[in-house]
Amino acid sequence: MKLKLFAVMLCFLSACSAPEVWRPAAQQWGEFDIRLETRPEVMRQGMNEFLLIVNRKGQRHIPDLLIKIRTPSSGWTQAMPDGALGIYRRALLVNDMQHDQLYVRLSYHGKEGALTFDLFPANTSAE
């Protein structure tokens, strides 16, 4: 009897758990691999922190890389490097959880580039 009650409680708790963490696929710009994470991990309407994790052939510290980001609800702002970890972070406003995207501008030794990250899994299903 106790085992059945435990199984029912476990099913109930798993049904009430927090939404799954979703992350967009990593993207590449030149020799850089760029991955996006957010804080909180499950995004919410309002301010969210964006972390761009940048690797170049296994190296994380990339001097002179400049990254600016924005959402449709915010203007361009520089993502600040977090030491020599290859992590660039900035908090931005997200108003439309279903449709907003993160726009990224990159600048490195005279080269300019742009990337766009979807912030919601449904945005990637049409591709």
Q: Tell me the per-residue pLDDT of 81-102, one tens digit each, with 9 for 90 and over.
A: 998 889 999 999 999 988 999 9
On the 0-12 / 13-18 / 19+ scale of CB atoms within 10 A, 88 is buried
Cα 12 off chain centre by: 30
Q: All domains of the chain, ordered by start, with CATH?
A: 25-122 (2.60.40.10)
Q: In three state form, how does the secondary structure of 4-62 look?
A: HHHHHHHHHHHHCCCCCCCCCCCEEECCEEEEEEEECCCCCCEEEEEEEEEEECCECCC
What is the mean pLDDT of the segment spanning 43-55?
95
pTM for this one? 0.79
How many CB atoms are closer than 10 A to CB 34?
21
